[in-house]
Structure 1
Amino acid sequence: MNDLSNIQNFQEGHPVRVYLEENILTRKLFQELLQTNMQEDYQRFYNIFNQICEIEKHFARKENQLFPYLEKYGWTGPSQGMWAFHDQIREEIKFVRKKVEAKDSSDILNDAMSLFNSIDHLLQVEEGRLLPRALEMLNEDDWKEMYEGDKEIGWMFADAPVRYPEVKEEDYVHPSEDKKRRKLPFSLEDRTHFDEGYLTPEQVNFIFKFLPIDITYVDENDIVIFYNRGDDRVFPRSAGIIGREVKFCHPPKSVDQVLKILEEFKAGRQDTAEFWIQFKGKFIHIRYFAIRDEEKNYKGVIEMSQDITDIKKLEGDKRLLDWA
């Protein structure tokens, strides 16, 4: 099973086979790119290069799916060394992309060849060391668990690979309903299983307390059932609003708009509403989101308010800490 020289050794949809198929596709795309004259057929060159850029999904699946499993068995090297190599290649892709989008063909084939050499070296490391060792370390259940997370990130292909292992429709379990307890480095005692992950009540409270956003949850009966108590709330709230009808929690001049939002959300005609206002020298962004269950039944509304005064001023990039 550890022989990667023959892709047929792996069942269709197996994560290792998918990685290998993407490697084959990547090399094929580079061959086509390097045979294309950018000046003579810019659109073709542009389209092929965009397909190559989909390798970001290949990287992201490794970083967020494969590497965590390897860490579980004590191999942390890929999470450090190979991830850094991913970031280096991302910078090279960004450099070439700028030239392609600017239709700057000067030395473009040499730039593309340099990018190919970096990526091909990475793929060789995958095929020669990463994937063979992953096959030795991970068990079959590990590989079977990867599909849903892989699907969230995506693949380089236009169509998703077949599910591995193939399951009958009646056997399918949505991730939010998946209660299987996997080996984790923490106890599940006093924790609730959310769509992704497990949290204690204290941790849930920490999340809401430290989010730099005001959140208020109104249930399907228009009753306020929750708000987060942060240190820097945009709008003041007190425990007295819990259990009140939401129309009594807004100033009279805005009640009509609140009731209109609730009416449209309940009718299913709208799912979001947003406003922005100047308030006490700050620029405030206010959003309402309709909450619905999996059967699309209305379950209430979340109101979120955020001070975005400083966010609106951001420009360019900031990639380094400035903790002087």
Structure 2
Amino acid sequence: MTKTTSTTKLPEGHPIRVYFQENDLIHSLLEELSNTIPEEDFQKYTNVFNQLSTIEKRFARKENQLFPFLEKKNWVGPSQGMWSFHDNLRDQFRLIRYYLRNQNFEKVTINTPFLVDGIYRLMHVEETVLFPNALDLLTEEDWIKMRAGEEEIGWMLTQNPAPFPQEEYIHPSEYFTQRELPFSLENTSHYDEGYMTVEQVNLLFRTMPLDLTYVDENDRVIFYNRGEERVFPRSAGIIGREVKFCHPPKSVGTVLRILEEFRKGTKNESSFWINYKERLIYIRYFAVRDADKNYKGVIEMSQDITDIKKIEGEKRLLDWE
């Protein structure tokens, strides 16, 4: 497939047409990056490099939108091979970013051609294999559904692409078309994105390494999760209780002020961290609002971050052995 064919035969806003629009930007950025000497014009190199880094949005759209649709057509190659290619390029971006922070211009210069060549090779595979086969395999309905999901990820372009299809485009927040899914929807409920049974929801909350408590707009506790390792003790007796009676007297004033500011809409989040039983506990409050910004209560989230604070560097390998 040539670029000319792809851009002239596909309608405005079609996911593949958008990929090719991004190609033009990527080609210009790669050329500019290759022709910029970081030691002589550090700011320009950094600016171009940062703009090129937004290619992550392109990777994310392919991995989370295009690849799943191809898997449904039994073509799993992109999910395996091309995703690994993406990760290799991500490593290259991280490496150059590290050298830029340390102003190691020699290493930046050495590694830039590897990044540039890798992106060129990736785009060649996209244009000659991935996109042509995707156009053959996927239906118009597939592309419409895909485009709706892409809105949540975004694009490299300075302006969002045209809607697709233009005459009946629906924003993903209003998109509730029944989808063909490889699992049963019996006894499930639809959430922001996805379907779960009551059992699965309970398992999710029970497995999360967080204490969650939901106080409704009437300042009454309506929910808390029962994880295996709780930060603070909870019992069923707090359900229906006014939240001001669920805190020690010395902290009630702070809690009530948070609720007041959340209700007025002046604040949306408040955070604290305390030492509790020789552990560092991170406590956060979030205002809950519906689509019309009406106040619907507060989520209190508590997490033991003692071990998290000790994390340094990176861990990319499984160490179960």
Q: Considering the TM-score relative to the shorter chain, is it more than 0.5?
A: yes
Tell me the amino acid that sits aligned with residue 202 of structure 2: N
Q: Which residue of 1 aligns with 2:293?
A: 296
Q: Which residue of 2 aligns with 1:273?
A: 270
Within 5 Å, give how 1:34-53 maps onto structure 2.
34-53=34-53
Q: Which residue of 2 aligns with 1:210?
A: 207
What secondary structure sits across from 1:277 in the alignment? strand
Q: Which residue of 1 aligns with 2:303?
A: 306
Q: Which residue of 2 aligns with 1:153?
A: 153
The structural deviation recorded for 1:113 is 2.3
The structural deviation recorded for 1:176 is 4.2
Tell me the amino acid that sits aligned with residue 150 of structure 1: E
The structural deviation recorded for 1:152 is 1.7
Judging changes above 3 Å, is the alpha-carbon distance between structure 1 residues 20 and 253 closer, same or farther for their aligned structure 2 residues?
A: same
Q: Which residue of 1 aligns with 2:15?
A: 15
What secondary structure sits across from 2:152 in the alignment? helix
Judging changes above 3 Å, is the alpha-carbon distance between structure 1 residues 172 and 293 closer, same or farther for their aligned structure 2 residues?
A: farther
Q: CA-to-partner distance for each residue in 1:226-249, whole Å, 9 max, x for gaps?
A: 110111111111111111111111
What secondary structure sits across from 1:156 in the alignment? coil
1:52 and 1:172 mapped to 2: Cα distance? 29
The structural deviation recorded for 1:86 is 0.9
1:271 and 1:227 mapped to 2: Cα distance? 20
Q: Which residue of 2 aligns with 1:238?
A: 235
1:174 and 1:224 mapped to 2: Cα distance? 34
Gaps of 5+ in 2: none
Judging changes above 3 Å, is the alpha-carbon distance between structure 1 residues 172 and 260 closer, same or farther for their aligned structure 2 residues?
A: farther
What secondary structure sits across from 2:11 in the alignment? coil
Where do 4+ consecutive residues of structure 1 move more than 6 Å? none
TM-score by length of 2: 0.94
- 1:200 maps onto 2:197 in alignment: yes
Deviates more, 1:173-182 or 1:187-196: 173-182
The structural deviation recorded for 1:150 is 1.5
- Name the % identity: 57
> Is the CA contact 1:208–1:228 (under 8 Å) kept in the aligned structure 2?
yes
Deviates more, 1:147-156 or 1:181-190: 147-156
The structural deviation recorded for 1:304 is 0.7
Q: Which residue of 1 aligns with 2:102?
A: 102
The structural deviation recorded for 1:107 is 6.5
- 1:184 maps onto 2:181 in alignment: yes
The structural deviation recorded for 1:104 is 3.0
Judging changes above 3 Å, is the alpha-carbon distance between structure 1 residues 221 and 172 closer, same or farther for their aligned structure 2 residues?
A: farther
1:30 and 1:179 mapped to 2: Cα distance? 39
The structural deviation recorded for 1:105 is 3.0
The structural deviation recorded for 1:140 is 0.5
> Is the CA contact 2:2–2:127 (under 8 Å) kept in the aligned structure 1?
no
The structural deviation recorded for 1:162 is 1.4
> Is the CA contact 2:208–2:227 (under 8 Å) kept in the aligned structure 1?
yes
1:281 and 1:84 mapped to 2: Cα distance? 42
Within 5 Å, give how 1:114-153 maps onto structure 2.
114-153=114-153
> Is the CA contact 1:3–1:9 (under 8 Å) kept in the aligned structure 2?
no
What secondary structure sits across from 2:151 in the alignment? helix
Gaps of 5+ in 1: none
What secondary structure sits across from 1:192 in the alignment? strand
The structural deviation recorded for 1:148 is 3.2
Please provide the CA RMSD for this pair.
Answer: 1.7
Deviates more, 1:288-297 or 1:86-95: 86-95
2:132 and 2:290 mapped to 1: Cα distance? 42
The structural deviation recorded for 1:95 is 2.3
Deviates more, 1:138-147 or 1:111-120: 111-120
Tell me the amino acid that sits aligned with residue 280 of structure 2: F
Tell me the amino acid that sits aligned with residue 299 of structure 1: K
Count of paired positions: 320
What secondary structure sits across from 1:260 in the alignment? helix
Deviates more, 1:45-54 or 1:190-199: 45-54
Q: CA-to-partner distance for each residue in 1:89-126, whole Å, 9 max, x for gaps?
A: 11122222333343333265553222221111111100
2:228 and 2:34 mapped to 1: Cα distance? 56
> Is the CA contact 1:292–1:298 (under 8 Å) kept in the aligned structure 2?
yes
1:174 and 1:4 mapped to 2: Cα distance? 28
> Is the CA contact 1:286–1:303 (under 8 Å) kept in the aligned structure 2?
yes
> Is the CA contact 1:175–1:195 (under 8 Å) kept in the aligned structure 2?
no
What secondary structure sits across from 1:318 in the alignment? coil
Deviates more, 1:68-77 or 1:110-119: 110-119
Judging changes above 3 Å, is the alpha-carbon distance between structure 1 residues 107 and 282 closer, same or farther for their aligned structure 2 residues?
A: closer
Tell me the amino acid that sits aligned with residue 153 of structure 1: I
